[in-house]
Amino acid sequence: MLLHLRVHLCALFLALSPLASLAAPPSYDHPSQTVLSQAALSDILFRGLPILGPDNGCSKTLKTCDWMAKIPDNTPLVRMNLPGTHDTSTWNYSATTQASLTGYTGPLPPAYLFRCQERSLLQSLNDGIRVFDLRFAYNPGNDTIGFYHSLLAPTTTMTDIFFGLYQWLNKHPTEAVLVSINHESGTGTPYDAKIQEMVYDVINSDIGNTYWGQTSGSLGTLGQARGKLTLLQRFTFDLLPAYKTKRIGIQLDPGHWTDNGKAIELVYNADKGLTAFIEDYYDSSLPLTSTPSQFIEEKFGATTAHLGNATLFNPDQLYISFVSAAAIVTGVVKVDMTPRVGCGFSLLALVFFCFCLGFVVLLPARCFSLSWFFFPPSFLSPSFP
Ligand SMILES: *[C@@H]1O[C@H](CO)[C@@H](O)[C@H](O)[C@H]1NC(C)=O
Ligand SMILES: *[C@@H]1O[C@H](CO)[C@@H](O)[C@H](O)[C@H]1NC(C)=O
Ligand SMILES: *[C@@H]1O[C@H](CO)[C@@H](O)[C@H](O)[C@H]1NC(C)=O
Assess contact for 257 and 280: CB atoms under 8 A.
yes
Cα 164 to ligand 2 centroid, rounded to whole Å: 28
As beta bridge partners, residue 183 has 136
Of the residues 189, 191, 192, which should be mutated to test ligand 2's pocket, given the most ligand atoms within 8 Å of the CB?
Answer: 189
Over the stretch 61-100, which tens digit does the pLDDT of each residue have?
Answer: 888 899 999 999 999 999 888 888 888 888 999 999 999 9
Residues 6+ apart with CB under 8 A from 152: 50, 51, 89, 90, 93, 97, 146
Cα 97 to ligand 1 centroid, rounded to whole Å: 7
Cα 263 to ligand 3 centroid, rounded to whole Å: 7
The DSSP 8-state label assigned to residue 128 in this structure reads T
Question: Domain 34-380 belongs to what architecture?
Answer: Alpha-Beta Barrel (3.20)
- Cβ–ligand 3 distance for 317 under 6 Å, the answer no
* Closest ligand (CA of 192): 2
pLDDT on residue 22: 57
- Closest atom, ligand 1, to C-alpha of 92: 1
- Cβ–ligand 2 distance for 189 under 6 Å, the answer yes
pLDDT on residue 227: 98
- Cβ–ligand 2 distance for 104 under 6 Å, the answer no
What percent of the chain is predicted at pLDDT more than 90? Answer: 57
Assess contact for 48 and 159: CB atoms under 8 A.
no
Cα 156 to Cα 68: distance, rounded to the nearest angstrom:
30
- Cβ–ligand 2 distance for 142 under 6 Å, the answer yes
pLDDT on residue 308: 86
Write down how long the chain is. 385
Which amino acid residue places its CA nearest to atom 7 of ligand 3?
Answer: 263
Cβ atoms < 10 Å from Cβ of 70? 11
The alpha helices in 53-188, defined as continuous H runs, are: 95-105, 121-126, 158-171
Which amino acid residue places its CA nearest to atom 9 of ligand 2?
Answer: 141
Using 50, 70 and 90 to split pLDDT, how confident is the model at 333? low
Using 50, 70 and 90 to split pLDDT, how confident is the model at 224? very high
Q: Does the pLDDT at position 317 exceed 70? A: yes
Question: DSSP strand E in the chain: where?
Answer: 82-85, 131-138, 145-147, 177-183, 229-233, 250-251, 264-269, 274-279, 318-322, 325-329, 332-337, 350-353
Classify strands 264-269 and 250-251 as parallel, antiparallel or unpaired: unpaired
The alpha helices in 136-205, defined as continuous H runs, are: 158-171, 193-203
Using 50, 70 and 90 to split pLDDT, how confident is the model at 330? low
Which amino acid residue places its CA nearest to atom 3 of ligand 1?
Answer: 97
pLDDT on residue 291: 78
As beta bridge partners, residue 283 has 326
Which amino acid residue places its CA nearest to atom 6 of ligand 1?
Answer: 97
Using 50, 70 and 90 to split pLDDT, how confident is the model at 352? low
- Cβ–ligand 3 distance for 262 under 6 Å, the answer yes
Q: Does the pLDDT at position 383 exceed 80? A: no
- Cβ–ligand 2 distance for 155 under 6 Å, the answer no
- The residue ranking higher by pLDDT, 348 or 77, is 77
- Cβ–ligand 1 distance for 155 under 6 Å, the answer no
For 250-254, the CB contacts below 8 A with 24+ separation are 250/217, 250/218, 250/219, 250/274, 250/276, 250/318, 252/180, 252/276, 252/278, 254/182
Of the residues 92, 93, 94, 112, which should be mutated to test ligand 1's pocket, given the most ligand atoms within 8 Å of the CB?
Answer: 92
Cα 170 to Cα 174: distance, rounded to the nearest angstrom:
9
Q: Does the pLDDT at position 7 exceed 60? A: no
